[in-house]
Amino acid sequence: MPDSSLPYDVIVVGGGVNGAGVARDAAGRGARVLLLEAGDLAQGTSSASTKLIHGGLRYLEHYEFGLVREALKEREILWGIAPHIIHPLRFVLPYRDGLRPRWLLRLGLFLYDHIGGRKKLPATRSIDLRRHASGGALQPQYIRGFEYSDGWVDDARLVVLNARDAAEHGARVRTRTRAEMLRCEDGMWVVDASDDQGHQYRFTSHSIVNAAGPAVLDLLKRADAEPDHQMRLVRGSHIVVRKLFEHDYAYFFQLPDGRIFFAIPYERDFTLIGTTDQDHVDPNILPRASDEEIAYLCEGASLYFREPITPADVVWTYSGVRPLIEDGSGRPEAATRGYRIDVDLAEGAPLLTIYGGKITSYRHVAEAAVDELVDHIPALTGKRWTAKAPLPGGNFPTDGAAALQAEYKLAHPFLTAATVDRIAKAYGTDARAWLADADDWDALGGEIAHGLSVAEAEWLVTNEWARTTDDILWRRTKLGLHFNDDDVAKLAACLEAMGNRIA
């Protein structure tokens, strides 16, 4: 059983957004960090979000003002450190007679504009949908509405880039390595782990961070520790259909049952619709959109769009399990999206557990978690740093995306506009490393399909822990919706040829 020669200061278990965020923060403060993920980075909840960096407008009616304020403050911080994978999005909220009154919507949006320190994002305004660009796709009875700001994020890439930055600050990142058993011996945590090849490992650490998301209670059992909170697992399902509108606005829709959902431009040719809130009892069951959830989203969208949407129009679905803190709420959508950080010192060495949370707040959660460890881990400094340091590829201004795309198009004229747009938004300035001075596809090793080159695939394998076609198509690039079976086979052959190298 291989044994790490020196103990780590922090072992983080869980390669979702919270775990990757903690690994990045702790490594940047001087700690020796190991990040363990049983599958691929962002394979679970963190790649199954609605792809929004937002305050959570609907949480205001549940009186979660502190949660909304914190998330709103994070919107512009995250945009500033990752302007390639995060960008502003204007949402249209049509007024529907008989649901929430207009004065209540306007009051909620006024609070949304003012409690979070908004600086760069444009404010809310009332709109006439008969004249607004978004109105043409809607049924004619929708006349009035509101337009407000939030942000879009490539959620899986957010996780990968945090892991990348952690590694660049000295952290070790091991994917497909499961923490099987955790125990404390002589004031040190001992972690027995195994990888997907059957190899066994033993690691030691001065502390453990449990960032296992939906499996947070299961990991506590493996550490023979008692939970401080009970969890409520809630499944959120999304559907994707062919593009329903040509403009760049997103929609925030109300439903007669009091719930809300979004319709968002997605991957150039599609519209993303979601999400649902359904209790998910067994964390070991892979979440999938049920027929009822698909029908619910189709029926809800058909209340607003001119063209009805049916389950036959759905080209893809995805679902994720949100690990929410059990607060006694009757309906799953009313359960808190807040988080708790608890440190257990019963064994003599810290076991820190993160309960709950949402993707928008991940950086703040990670910062608070590392703050909790500072007094227990001498290698950690107390200096906070992640709010201003760009994530890999994000070292350009928030208004610099167009200039970066123009640079890539000028330097590599053989790339289509769609491919340039995708590359700039996925990699930012990092794409310079693998595009280099290429003046045709041959210089990039050839095009596999839909603008994905061999050079890009090699970058993902050697720098971003990608190993399978799913890793690349559904998490690193989001090209899965464009690839057919033959394209996937070509990518698989390419990965086999490069020996599945692991960074």
Bridge partners of residue 51, in order along the sequence: none
Helix (H) / strand (E) element for 492: namely helix 485-497
Q: How far apart are CA 273 and CA 255, in angstroms?
A: 13
Same domain? For 215 and 280 the reply is no
Residues in the chain: 503
Give me the torsion for CA of 272, 276, 280, 283, rounded to 10°.
Answer: 20
User: 285: which 2 tokens?
Assistant: 């069951």
Q: How far apart are CA 394 and CA 81, in angstroms?
A: 6
Residue 3 has pLDDT above 80, yes or no: no
Q: Is residue 58 part of a domain?
A: no
Query: Is residue 206 within 8 Å of 377, Cβ to Cβ?
Result: yes
Bridge partners of residue 339, in order along the sequence: 356
Q: Is residue 66 part of a domain?
A: no
> For residue 62, what pLDDT is reported?
76
Does residue 275 have a cis peptide bond before it, meaning omega lies within 30 degrees of 0?
yes
- Count Cβ atoms below 10 Å from residue 144 Cβ, excluding itself: 15
Name the amino acid, one letter, at 13: V
User: 450: which 2 tokens?
Assistant: 């839909």
Residue 501 has pLDDT above 50, yes or no: no
Same domain? For 244 and 147 the reply is yes
Q: How far apart are CA 404 and CA 429, in angstroms?
A: 8
441: nearest Cα among 452, 432, 427, 430:
452
Same domain? For 276 and 216 the reply is no
Residue 316 belongs to domain with CATH number: 3.30.9.10
pLDDT by residue (tens digit) across 251-286? 999 999 999 999 999 999 999 999 999 999 887 889
Over the chain, what is the mean pLDDT?
Answer: 94
Same domain? For 171 and 259 the reply is no
**In Å, what is the CA distance from 33 to each residue of 163, 208, 455?**
11, 10, 30
> For residue 244, what pLDDT is reported?
98
Helix (H, G, I), strand (E, B) or coil at 319: strand
Confidence of residue 499 (pLDDT cuts 50, 70, 90): confident
- Count Cβ atoms below 10 Å from residue 359 Cβ, excluding itself: 25
Q: How far apart are CA 424 and CA 416, in angstroms?
A: 12
> For residue 335, what pLDDT is reported?
65
Lowest pLDDT segment from 21-35, 168-182, 284-298, 315-329: 315-329
Q: What own/partner pairs with CB < 8 Å and gap ≥ 24 does 196-200 have?
A: 199/2, 200/1, 200/2
Going by C-beta distance under 8 Å and a sequence separation of 6 or more, which residues neighbour residue 329? 232, 335, 336
Residue 2 has pLDDT above 60, yes or no: no
Residue 235 has pLDDT above 80, yes or no: yes
Residue 153 has pLDDT above 90, yes or no: yes
Same domain? For 352 and 412 the reply is no
Cα three-residue angle 487-196-469, rounded to 5 degrees: 10
pLDDT by residue (tens digit) across 392-443? 999 999 999 999 999 999 999 999 999 999 999 999 999 999 999 999 999 9
pLDDT by residue (tens digit) across 353-367? 999 989 999 999 999
Determine the longest span between alpha carbons in the chain, in angstroms: 71
Pairing status of strand 33-36 against strand 10-13: parallel
Query: Is residue 231 within 8 Å of 326, Cβ to Cβ?
Result: yes
> For residue 502, what pLDDT is reported?
38
Helix and strand numbers (H, E) in the chain are 13, 21
Query: Is residue 191 within 8 Å of 182, Cβ to Cβ?
Result: yes
Cα three-residue angle 5-8-11, rounded to 5 degrees: 130
Confidence of residue 176 (pLDDT cuts 50, 70, 90): very high
Q: How many domains does the chain have?
A: 3
Residue 4 has pLDDT above 60, yes or no: no
Query: Is residue 349 within 8 Å of 184, Cβ to Cβ?
Result: yes
Q: Is residue 72 part of a domain?
A: no
Q: Is residue 135 part of a domain?
A: yes
Q: Is residue 313 part of a domain?
A: yes
**In Å, what is the CA distance from 182 to each residue of 4, 23, 223, 443, 475?**
15, 19, 5, 48, 29
Q: Is residue 2 part of a domain?
A: no
> For residue 333, what pLDDT is reported?
64
Helix (H) / strand (E) element for 456: namely helix 454-463
Name the amino acid, one letter, at 95: Y
Same domain? For 292 and 435 the reply is no
Same domain? For 174 and 189 the reply is yes
Residue 94 has pLDDT above 80, yes or no: yes
Same domain? For 140 and 192 the reply is no
Confidence of residue 121 (pLDDT cuts 50, 70, 90): very high
Considering the entire predicted model, what is its pTM? 0.96
pLDDT above 90 covers a percentage of the chain that reads 88
Q: Is residue 437 part of a domain?
A: yes
User: 61: which 2 tokens?
Assistant: 């009616």
Q: Is residue 365 part of a domain?
A: yes
> For residue 503, what pLDDT is reported?
36
Confidence of residue 44 (pLDDT cuts 50, 70, 90): very high
pLDDT above 70 covers a percentage of the chain that reads 97
Same domain? For 222 and 92 the reply is no
Residue 411 belongs to domain with CATH number: 1.10.8.870
Q: Pick the more confident residue, 212 or 5.
A: 212
Same domain? For 221 and 363 the reply is yes
Residue 202 belongs to domain with CATH number: 3.50.50.60
Helix (H, G, I), strand (E, B) or coil at 406: helix
Query: Is residue 233 within 8 Å of 323, Cβ to Cβ?
Result: yes
Q: How far apart are CA 325 and CA 322, in angstroms?
A: 10
Query: Is residue 431 within 8 Å of 424, Cβ to Cβ?
Result: yes
- What is the extent of the structural domain holding 160? 10-45+156-229+336-373
Same domain? For 296 and 286 the reply is yes
Residue 63 has pLDDT above 90, yes or no: no
| For range 76-92, the mean pLDDT | 97
Same domain? For 272 and 406 the reply is no
